[in-house]
Every structure is written in structure tokens, then in C-alpha cells.
């Protein structure tokens, strides 16, 4: 039996002992499907070793694999997405528990769904990422990718921060708030949604800017074209941080600038046949259900 993909990496959620069985089951299925190489990142291999698997650091997965299968949840998908995005490697998400926003294959459906995907029977979807750079005294001091969002947040002292926002070098507004979320369509169902932002379909070429608890009620979320360059400048605040997908952060100083734009590569997610984005939203957000 032939397969469309031959070098397949398996990435599992950390500290999840129940994932070992499904992972080994998946590895055996890949061998039956003539997969020439099964790859584990070092963190997955440490918890769930697979015989004869090639073990590489997480940042090397994109160099050696032609498909990544994630076992766990959306958080695991986020962590590996930024690492493989430079290599345009597609991802498949297997959710151990409830249906995820990105990991939409149930663990009980591995036998039925994964062979079909390996044979090319899938629904591909391109997701955008954000590229962010921190500029201090006219020098780049930090850079990072984000699949969900770039978030600016106040420090532990609790006081609001003050900042200015520019889009394509045009001044948009100054704001005093708890922070700002700059979100991709993928991230629109995460922190941005909890902060009152719009849900953006993954195919919408837009970036959302969502204020976090602004001082004025007239501060509203806006969506801009995905070709725009967004600049955030911190004018007042202490212990302010910029977060990237909630997985990493950088400490900002007053007058630091952060430029954000769409990353040059998109990330391809492979869904099973029959995938429907609105079905997923209806399930996750309980649309149409009685509240009492």
C-alpha cells in the first residue's frame, strides 16, 4: 500500500501519559502504510519512545519530515506550527479529548481517517501566521512568529499601559488599556474572542486588533488587510510584555516599537474529508443549544 507521505513526524502533548497508546498505534499504522521514516521530536521520544524512530530536536522536525501528525490538542499544534512554518510542512491534528479548533481528528478515528489522509484523501486549508519584530533604539532586539496572536499586556503592578498604533505608517489611535491583541483568523477563536473580537473564517485575508479592557468604551476591535504592517509603540507602562501565542514573551520598555506583519509562508493543515468549519464552531461554541 503506497502513501503520499514517506517521512512522518509524530509530536505528542507533554505530560500526557494516556497519549502513549495512541502514538504507538499510529506508528504501527504508518509502518503498514509503507512510511519510510517515523520521526519523533526529543520531547515526545523522552515520554513515549517508539522503536526504530528517528529522534530530532523540535526545531529540526521541519527539515526532515514531509508531514507532521500532532497528538494532543490545539496547544501542541501551536507549539510545533511556528517551528515547521518556514519549511511549509503540512500538519494533521489528532485530539485526545474533545474536538479542537485545529486538532479535529478524534483519537478513536485514527484507523479510519489517517490512512485516507496518507493516500491524499483530505481537505487542505492554508492558515496565516504573524511575524513580529521588537525595535529598541532603532535596533531589532527580538523576533518571533505567532500562529494565533501577538498580545501586549500590562505588568503585575496592575496599572494600565499607554500605547500608539500605526498601520502602514499611518497613525490610527493612542490608547490606555490592559493591552492589545493582534490576531490571525486562527487566533480569532482564542483570546481575541474572549476579549470581544470578531470570529474570522480562516480564509479571510485579515488581521484583527482587539483592545483588552480599554479605558474608553469607544475603543473597538478593527480588522485590517493581511498585507498591512502594524506597529505598536509603548509610550507608558512598566513590566509590559509582548506574548507570542502564549508560548514565549519579551519584556518591553517605554518607546519600544513592535512591527507585525503576515509571515511569508502559510501553514497547511490537512482535515479529514467532510470537515466543515461551521460545524466545528457550532460544536465548540454550543450554538443553537438551550442555555437553561
- d(CA 174, CA 219) in angstroms, rounded, equals 10
Sign of torsion over alpha carbons 21, 28, 43, 72: negative
CA-wise closest residue to 184 among 263, 111, 250, 122: 263
Question: Under a CB-based contact definition with an 8 Å cutoff, are residues 10 and 29 in contact?
Answer: no
Respond yes or no: is residue 74 known to be catalytic: yes
Measure the CA–CA gap between 239 and 253, rounded to whole angstroms.
8
Give strand pairing partners of 71.
12, 94
249, with CB counted inside 10 A (0-12, 13-18, 19+), is middle
CA distance 18 to 13: 10
Q: How far apart are CA 106 and CA 157, in angstroms?
A: 42
H-helix segments, 99-219: 110-118, 191-194
Q: Which of 145, 124, 6 is nearest to 80 (CA)?
A: 145
C-alpha cell at 69: 501528525
Question: Of 41, 52, 66, 74, which residue is the catalytic one?
Answer: 74
State the Cα–Cα distance between residues 121 and 4, nearest whole angstrom. 10
In the structure grid, which three cell numbers stand for residue 144, read together?
A: 518571533
- Count of residues making up the chain: 292
Catalytic residue set: 74
Amino acid at each position: 500500500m503506497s502513501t503520499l507521505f514517506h517521512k512522518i513526524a509524530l509530536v505528542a502533548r507533554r505530560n500526557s501519559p494516556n497519549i502513549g497508546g495512541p502514538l504507538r498505534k499510529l506508528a504501527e499504522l504508518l509502518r503498514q502504510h509503507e512510511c519510510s521514516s517515523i520521526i519523533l521530536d526529543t520531547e515526545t521520544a523522552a515520554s513515549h519512545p517508539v522503536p526504530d524512530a528517528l529522534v530530532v530536536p523540535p526545531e529540526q522536525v521541519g527539515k526532515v519530515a514531509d508531514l507532521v501528525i500532532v497528538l494532543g490538542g490545539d496547544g501542541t499544534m501551536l507549539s510545533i506550527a511556528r517551528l515547521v512554518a518556514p519549511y511549509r510542512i503540512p500538519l494533521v491534528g489528532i485530539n485526545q479529548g474533545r474536538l479542537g479548533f485545529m486538532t479535529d481528528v478524534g483519537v478513536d478515528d485514527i484507523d479510519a481517517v489517517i490512512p485516507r489522509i496518507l493516500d491524499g484523501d483530505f481537505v487542505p486549508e492554508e492558515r496565516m501566521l504573524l511575524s513580529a519584530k521588537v525595535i529598541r533604539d532603532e535596533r531589532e532586539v527580538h523576533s518571533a512568529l505567532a500562529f494565533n496572536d501577538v498580545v501586549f499586556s500590562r505588568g503585575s503592578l496592575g496599572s494600565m499601559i499607554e500605547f500608539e498604533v500605526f498601520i502602514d505608517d499611518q497613525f490610527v489611535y493612542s490608547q490606555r488599556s490592559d493591552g492589545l491583541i493582534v490576531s490571525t483568523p486562527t487566533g480569532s477563536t482564542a483570546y481575541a474572542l474572549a476579549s470581544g473580537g470578531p470570529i474570522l473564517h480562516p480564509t479571510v485575508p485579515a488581521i484583527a486588533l482587539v483592545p483588552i479592557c480599554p479605558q474608553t468604551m469607544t475603543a473597538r476591535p478593527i480588522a485590517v488587510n493581511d498585507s498591512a504592517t502594524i506597529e505598536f509603540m509603548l509610550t507608558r507602562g512598566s513590566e509590559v510584555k509582548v506574548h507570542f501565542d502564549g508560548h514565549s514573551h519579551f519584556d518591553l520598555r517605554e518607546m519600544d516599537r513592535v512591527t507585525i506583519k503576515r509571515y511569508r509562508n502559510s501553514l497547511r493543515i490537512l482535515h479529514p474529508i467532510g470537515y466543515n468549519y461551521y460545524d466545528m464552531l457550532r460544536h465548540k461554541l454550543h450554538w443553537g443549544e438551550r442555555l437553561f
